[in-house]
Chains A and B, each alone.
Chain A
C-alpha cells in the first residue's frame, strides 16, 4: 500500500501541488481549494507541505459524528463522503497534522490520493542532485513522494 510522504528540505515553495490539485478537483487554479497545503516558515525561509497521512487509525474518522470519513482497508485511503458530511469541522480540529483544509465556502477539502496517482507528486518540482548540502537524498528527488507505507 502506497501513501504520500514529504522529503525534508526539498520543497521549493512553488505551490504547484496546490494549483494542480485545485485544477483537478475544482476546475480552477486556486490554492484555497486544494487538498494539499504548503506553509511558509519565515524564520527558516523555507516551505513545508502539509499532507494527509491517511493514518492507520484516523482521528478524523473517529470524531466524525456523521460517519462521513472512513478508511478503505484495501487501499489504506481515508476518504470523505461529502453527502454525509455535516460541515461540523470536528475532523479539522482532530487531525494531528492539521492536514484537513476548509474551502472559503466552508466545505471540507480532503485528500483521496487521486485513486493511486497523486497529482501533487506528478507536478512536484524535480530537484537536481546535490543542489544543497541539506538535501535528504543526494541523488535528487521531489519533496512530495508516493511510497510504500513505512518506507
Chain B
C-alpha cells in the first residue's frame, strides 16, 4: 500500500522479529501514528492482563510514525511512543521530534512493537533489508549524548537516527524519557523507564527505501498548497523566529506563566526580561533549526553558552548544542526562580543527557523549594540526604543540579523519592516530615506535575484534568481561550464563547473537540504546530488532500476527524479497563481552591467551574457524565463494537 510501511514485532526475550504489512482496513480505521499505536496497545492487552506492573516484561513499548511523517508535506515528523505508563500506572504515550522516526520510516517500518526483556543490554538496529538485535553492554551507563557519539563513531552510519535512554532510564526513574537525535526528548510518562526495564538501550534506524507515493504530481501540488498556507499565516513568523520561547512574553501579558511553584501567575518584570526570546537571540542564539525532517516551520534553534553571559554561565560554558524550550524556562526559570538563560540551558541539556523528563523533575523541585520556604523541609533533611546541609531556597541553582543528578543516578533517599511522579513524592515527604504537603502540589490527573497557570484558562484546566496520559498539555489545545480565538470557537461550535477569555463558557465542549483534533494530527505523524495551533490557517482539507495523494485512499475531513476521535476513545477504553472513572479526572488543591491574583483572571479557581465543564466535556465526547465511562452507542458509531464488547465483559462501559 502506497504511503505506508510495515509493523515489526520484536520480542526481546526470544529475539524473534516478525514483519507484517499494515492492512487497508487498519489504515482506514486508525490512519497511523497515534491511532495505530493505540490499536496495537489495545490488542496487546487483550492477551496480556492490563493490570500488570508497568515494569513487567509483559508491558509493551510501541513506536510509530504516521503517514504524513518523513514526507515533503512540510509539517514535520513526530514519533509517538505508546505503553502502559510507569509514572501513572495507566495509559502512557510520548511524542518526540528528531530524525529517528523518519529514518525508520525510510527503512520501510512505520510501527515497532517491542515486548519481552533482553537478558543483557541490547540495541535494535533497523536498515532497509534487516532488523538486528545487537549487544549494547558497551553503551550501558552512558548519557544520551555519549551514546550517540559512540554509536556514530563507526558503528552505525552518521546519518542514522538514534533513539536512546540515559542513566535515568537504566536506573528505573519512573518518568525517564527516550531521547532522539539531535536531542529531542519523548518526555512525559516514562518511555525511557519502559525501555530500561527491557534492557533496551537504543533503537537505531537508517533507511534508504523512502516512502512510496500514489500520485506524485498530486502530492507535489498538495505540498505546494501546505507550503503556501504556512507562509500566509502571520503568526508563523513569530514561531519561526522564537519557537516556543515566544510564550514567555505572551504568557507574561495574559497571566499564563507560573512563578515559584505556581504560587503566582506573574513573574517579576526584570526576571522576564532575562528569560525572554529577545535576550536569548541577542546573547546565545546561533541559528534556527527544524527539529525533524520535513518541517519547513523550524521553531527549534542552536545555541552556545560561551561563559560571559551571566555569573552562572562562567562555569557552564560548553559546546554548541540544543536550546531550551518554553517548558524548560517554565520549570527551572520560573518554577525554581532561576532567571538565568545559560543555567536553564545547562539544566535542559543535563536532563536530556540523563534521559529524564525535565517536565516532571522541573515540577518536583519547585515543590521541594516551596516546602523549604514553608519550613516543612529543613536542613536536617537535606543533611541526611546529601551528607551536608543544602539550602533549597528559591533560585539555588546548585541545589537543583544536585537533585537532578541524585534522581538520575539514584544517589540518595531524596533521589529515590523524587524518581516517582510528584503525588508519590508528596506522600513520601509527608511520612518523613509528619507534616501535610499535598496542598502545595501543582499537578493533575495521575499525579503528573505541570508549570503553567491554568486557572484563568478553563480549556487548559479541563484538559489537564482529563488527558488520557495524565495531567499534560499535548492531548488538547489551548489556543482557543489563551489566544482569544473567537473565530475558531465559531467555526467549531457555532458560537464565539469558547474564544472569550477568562470565562468558563463552552470551554468543556471546546476541550473535547480539541482532543479529537489533536489526535487526528498525531495519527498523521506530523507536528501539532500550525495544523493544530491554528486550524483555520492550516485547514484539515489540506491534510486530507496530502493523505489521498500519498496513499490513494480517498478521505474526507470528517473521516480524518473521526479517526482522531477513534484514537481518543481507544485511550479512554484502555484507562476504563484499568478502573479510571470520573473521580480520577481531577486537579490539585492549589488549582481547585486558590484564586488567581493576577489582574486578568483575578479570582478564578478551577473549583468554581470544573465540575460543570467536565459534564459538558463528557457529553460532547458521547461519554457518560456520571462515571466518565465510554458508552456503547458512541463506540459503535465509531466502528469500535469489538472494544465495547471487551468493556462490557469487564463492566467498564456505561
B290 engages A22 (CB within 8 Å): no
B209 engages A20 (CB within 8 Å): no
B294 engages A126 (CB within 8 Å): no
Q: Which of A29, A45, A123 contacts B70 (CB 8 A)?
A: A29
**Cβ–Cβ < 8 Å partners of A128 in chain B:** 237, 240-241
Q: Min CB distance, A75 to chain B, in Å? A: 23
A104 to B211, CA, bound (A): 14
B293 engages A19 (CB within 8 Å): yes
Given contacts A23-B216, A23-B220, contact A131 B288 (CB under 8 A): yes
A13 to B294, CA, bound (A): 9
A134 to B295, CA, bound (A): 21
A46 engages B290 (CB within 8 Å): no
**Cβ–Cβ < 8 Å partners of B281 in chain A:** 130-133
A14 to B287, CA, bound (A): 13
Any B CB within 8 A of the CB of A15: yes
Closest to B323 in A: A45
Closest to B215 in A: A27
In this complex, the member of B72, B211, B220, B237 whose beta carbon has the largest number of chain A beta carbons within 10 angstroms is B72
Q: Which of A15, A30, A124 contacts B208 (CB 8 A)?
A: A30
Chain A, residues 86-109, CB within 8 Å of chain B (1/0): the string is: 000000000000000000100000
A47 to B313, CA, bound (A): 26
A9 to B297, CA, bound (A): 16
A14 engages B71 (CB within 8 Å): no
Chain A, interface size category, equals 35 or more
Any B CB within 8 A of the CB of A2: no
Any A CB within 8 A of the CB of B320: yes
**Cβ–Cβ < 8 Å partners of B286 in chain A:** 9, 45-46, 132, 134
Any B CB within 8 A of the CB of A16: yes
**Cβ–Cβ < 8 Å partners of A43 in chain B:** 319-320
**Cβ–Cβ < 8 Å partners of A20 in chain B:** 72, 220, 223
Given contacts A128-B241, A133-B282, contact A45 B302 (CB under 8 A): yes
The number of chain B residues with a CB under 8 A from chain A is: 51
A33 engages B210 (CB within 8 Å): yes
A19 engages B72 (CB within 8 Å): yes
**Cβ–Cβ < 8 Å partners of B282 in chain A:** 133
Any B CB within 8 A of the CB of A149: no
**Cβ–Cβ < 8 Å partners of B212 in chain A:** 28
CB neighbors of B among A30-68 (8 A): 30-33, 40, 42-47
Q: Min CB distance, B292 to chain A, in Å? A: 8
A32 engages B290 (CB within 8 Å): no
A123 engages B72 (CB within 8 Å): yes
Any B CB within 8 A of the CB of A127: yes
Q: Min CB distance, A2 to chain B, in Å? A: 21
B227 engages A12 (CB within 8 Å): no
Closest to A125 in B: B296
B297 engages A125 (CB within 8 Å): yes
**Cβ–Cβ < 8 Å partners of A42 in chain B:** 149, 152, 182
A125 to B223, CA, bound (A): 13
**Cβ–Cβ < 8 Å partners of B285 in chain A:** 132-133
Q: Min CB distance, A38 to chain B, in Å? A: 9
Q: Min CB distance, B308 to chain A, in Å? A: 15
Any A CB within 8 A of the CB of B398: no
Q: Min CB distance, B130 to chain A, in Å? A: 14
**Cβ–Cβ < 8 Å partners of A22 in chain B:** 210
A44 to B302, CA, bound (A): 9
Closest to A123 in B: B227
A124 to B320, CA, bound (A): 24
A131 to B286, CA, bound (A): 9
A42 to B146, CA, bound (A): 12
**Cβ–Cβ < 8 Å partners of A84 in chain B:** none
Closest to B212 in A: A28
A44 engages B320 (CB within 8 Å): yes
**Cβ–Cβ < 8 Å partners of B463 in chain A:** none
Q: Min CB distance, B105 to chain A, in Å? A: 9
**Cβ–Cβ < 8 Å partners of A29 in chain B:** 70-72, 210-211, 213
A130 to B287, CA, bound (A): 10
Q: Min CB distance, A71 to chain B, in Å? A: 28
A58 to B207, CA, bound (A): 31
A73 to B227, CA, bound (A): 34
B289 engages A12 (CB within 8 Å): yes
Q: Which of A27, A30, A40, A123 contacts B106 (CB 8 A)?
A: A30
In this complex, the member of A32, A33, A46, A135 whose beta carbon has the largest number of chain B beta carbons within 10 angstroms is A32
B209 engages A30 (CB within 8 Å): yes
**Cβ–Cβ < 8 Å partners of B320 in chain A:** 43-46
In this complex, the member of A26, A46, A125, A133 whose beta carbon has the largest number of chain B beta carbons within 10 angstroms is A125
A14 engages B106 (CB within 8 Å): no
A132 to B556, CA, bound (A): 41
Any A CB within 8 A of the CB of B575: no
In this complex, the member of B282, B290, B322 whose beta carbon has the largest number of chain A beta carbons within 10 angstroms is B290
Chain B, residues 311-324, CB within 8 Å of chain A (1/0): the string is: 00000000111100
Q: Min CB distance, B140 to chain A, in Å? A: 22
A28 engages B321 (CB within 8 Å): no
B321 engages A16 (CB within 8 Å): no
**Cβ–Cβ < 8 Å partners of B444 in chain A:** none
Can you pick out 8 interface pairs between chain A and chain B where the beta carbons lie within 8 Å of each other? A19-B293, A23-B72, A23-B223, A31-B106, A32-B207, A123-B223, A124-B296, A133-B285
Q: B residues bordering A, Cβ < 8 Å?
A: 70-72, 74, 102, 106, 128, 149, 152, 158-159, 182, 207-213, 216, 219-220, 223-224, 227, 231, 237, 240-241, 281-282, 285-290, 292-298, 300-302, 319-322
Q: A residues bordering B, Cβ < 8 Å?
A: 9-10, 12-16, 19-20, 22-24, 26-33, 40, 42-47, 104, 122-128, 130-135
8 A-B pairs closest in CB distance = A30-B210, A19-B72, A14-B290, A32-B208, A12-B298, A27-B216, A128-B237, A125-B296
Additional 14 contacts, C-beta under 8 A, given A15-B293, A28-B212, A40-B159: A15-B290, A16-B72, A19-B72, A19-B294, A23-B223, A24-B216, A28-B211, A30-B209, A32-B210, A33-B210, A46-B320, A128-B241, A132-B301, A133-B285
